[in-house]
Amino acid sequence: MRFLPPIFANLVLLASGLGFGGLLRRLFPESFSSIDRVALSFLGGIGILGTILFCVGQFWFSRSAILLVLVLGVLFGFRSFARTVRECRTIFRTVSGAGLPVIVVIGVLLVTAIGGLAEPTGDMNHDAIAYHYLGPKVWLRDALIRPVPDEAQTSFPAVVETEFAALMSLGGQRAPQFFAVFGLLSILLMAASLAMRLGLGSQGAWWTAALIISMPAVYRGAFGGFIDVLYAGFVLAAARIAFDAGRAGDYVLVGLFCGLASGTKYTGLIAWALLLLCSFLIAVGVRRCRLWAVLKSLGIVCGAAIAVAFPFYARNWIFLGTPIYPPPPILYKFFQVRYLPVEAILQYHAYILKRGAGLGRGLGAYFLLPFNLTFHTSNFHGAGGIGLAPLALAPIGLIASRNEWLPKALALLVLLLTTAWFFTQQESRFLIPVYVLLAVFAVLGWQYVARVGSKYARGLSAVVVTISILYGLYMIVPESLVDSHAAVSPTFEDKRRHEDIPYLQSFDYINAEPFVSKVLILDPYVAAYYSDKAYVKPLGRWGEQTLPDATNLQAVLSQACNLHVSHILDVLPEAGPLKLPENPQGLTLVFQGQNQRVYRVD
């Protein structure tokens, strides 16, 4: 029974997303195939739903508001439902002829679905616990979408997080984890759309999907609260339409997907700019379009993208003083940033630069990227990498399709995105759009080798693909099985909760005790996600200061009354600036566990 609410919530969200996506169908070019239409309406629908929820949530984010938006989407969906089913049937017909890759894709999706039903656990090192799920939980409690001041990253663009909130509201804490299945599906559909546009056929599209889903770096970007796969889907959808665009409606669609990418991650702004550059170069240089017409169409793209992404950046500007928060080094001098002192901003950027240093930013490291991304994945936080196929077969695929302009355009996009990634933050999952395109090129290369290569080369390329998939599965499946085990075994899940959730006993006390109304959490590294009650955290882990002039314990405690705090959670091993002494005055110890104490404010 505990699985029904999360599954139901996800199905409602899917139906609503497809409903909103159906509104885009009028804009699709006639030439688009069934797979293109399904992929784009699926991704577009998810994006539009998230954006609408975000806009509505600025004023009203109760369960009724969420239900209203979702039902609206479902009602829109009735009109296009039959057409979507027809198109999906066309896609399902290709399953019977595809064989092995279908087993890989379905197997991984199945494991993800079961593992996705486990309760999220972990400490502040898990991005999902630290901010992807924390924001939605607080928004639901406050019935309003506002950045959580003690966690700067909850102010990031939130197309997907608002959907996590809707899922939590309908299906509980497990529901957002299950959403990974739809994230993976969307990227696979988009990859298949690109693969078929490049002439791969349904068999090739299935192999592309199998290569992608068995890339641990891609899988990591979809599971456990990560939003990178959906971000990649938006970027690729924009690219898919951009290079074939001809009418004003096509450019509106490109702009919509660029806006959605920017509304999902800040890196979407870079991807948007690079896609514009790429489209311009290809339109003027290769397709010989008139300069004025190209500029006009790119203007339409920018207009649509700004309209979609505007709410996310305007919200930050209004509530946090800067559209991009934490602001990059160029911006912070021009804006009055709230909650984050200058030292904290500089420290944050130093951390980002250090984390994203990869194997250096020199020329040598740049040219060795294909090799390093394949074999030294941990230097990029790559979760097991991308397999062998991109390095071994993608260059051959590129050579094979050298006479066509579309592969050249996509290769240029790969080059630009990779270069931007190399000079900003070398975090493997940020490069998922590139990995997907490389997988398409790899299958193109494989087909080319199968056509013109010797028997020995054909055997070698088959070994490359086999190792790619098997090695990827070896990295993905064991971890997913732990989640699946937790999902199906309440005993194991409980054991995992006790092992993985720091200060669980205190949170259990706080959540169960009816007299606890608001908690003061003194330590910045305590995961506030686990508190079902309202809380105040004076200091955040990035140096956020949420209370004015309250950087020491005395100042914080003096404000406790004004904050209507009923209890204080203090944890022992960390020696932070806000450390309670033994037997503090005005506080009564009401719960004590190992390294953790809860006090009642008298």
Partner 1 sequence: MSDNSEDFPVEKGAGPQRRFAMVRALWPRLIELWLSAVLVTFILIRVFGSQTARRLLSRFTHSHLP
| DSSP state at residue 545 | B
The total number of residues shown for the chain amounts to 602
Q: What is the residue-wise DSSP string for 383-408?
A: TT---SHHHHHHHHHHHHTTT-HHHH
To partner 1, the closest distance from the beta carbon of 475 in angstroms equals: 10
To partner 1, the closest distance from the beta carbon of 375 in angstroms equals: 5
3-state secondary structure of 475: helix
Q: How far apart are CA 247 and CA 229, in angstroms?
A: 28
For residues 283 and 295, is the Cβ–Cβ distance under 8 A?
A: no
Q: How far apart are CA 19 and CA 356, in angstroms?
A: 39
To partner 1, the closest distance from the beta carbon of 179 in angstroms equals: 31
Residues 6+ apart with CB under 8 A from 106: none
Token representation of residue 484: 């699946």
The b-or-e profile of 531-541 (16+ CB within 10 A means b, else e) is bebbbbbbbbb
To partner 1, the closest distance from the beta carbon of 119 in angstroms equals: 31
Q: Closer to partner 1 by CB, 309 or 442: give it.
A: 442
- Residue type, position 575, single letter: A
To partner 1, the closest distance from the beta carbon of 451 in angstroms equals: 5
Q: Closer to partner 1 by CB, 25 or 408: give it.
A: 408
Q: Closer to partner 1 by CB, 376 or 485: give it.
A: 376
Q: How far apart are CA 49 and CA 67, in angstroms?
A: 12
Q: Closer to partner 1 by CB, 273 or 467: give it.
A: 467
Contact footprint for partner 1 (CB under 8 A): 198-199, 371, 375-376, 388, 391-393, 395-396, 399-404, 407, 444, 448-449, 451-454, 456-457, 460-461, 463-464, 467, 471
To partner 1, the closest distance from the beta carbon of 391 in angstroms equals: 6
To partner 1, the closest distance from the beta carbon of 469 in angstroms equals: 13
Q: How far apart are CA 481 and CA 450, in angstroms?
A: 35
Q: Closer to partner 1 by CB, 336 or 403: give it.
A: 403
Calculate the alpha carbon distances from 271 to 79, 209, 296, 544 in Å. 33, 23, 20, 29
Q: Closer to partner 1 by CB, 391 or 476: give it.
A: 391
Q: What is the residue-wise DSSP string for 26-45?
A: GGS-TT--HHHHHHHHHHHH
Is the CA virtual torsion 294, 405, 28, 441 positive or negative?
A: negative
Query: H/E element holding 183?
Result: helix 180-197
Q: Closer to partner 1 by CB, 29 or 453: give it.
A: 453
To partner 1, the closest distance from the beta carbon of 411 in angstroms equals: 13
Q: Closer to partner 1 by CB, 345 or 393: give it.
A: 393
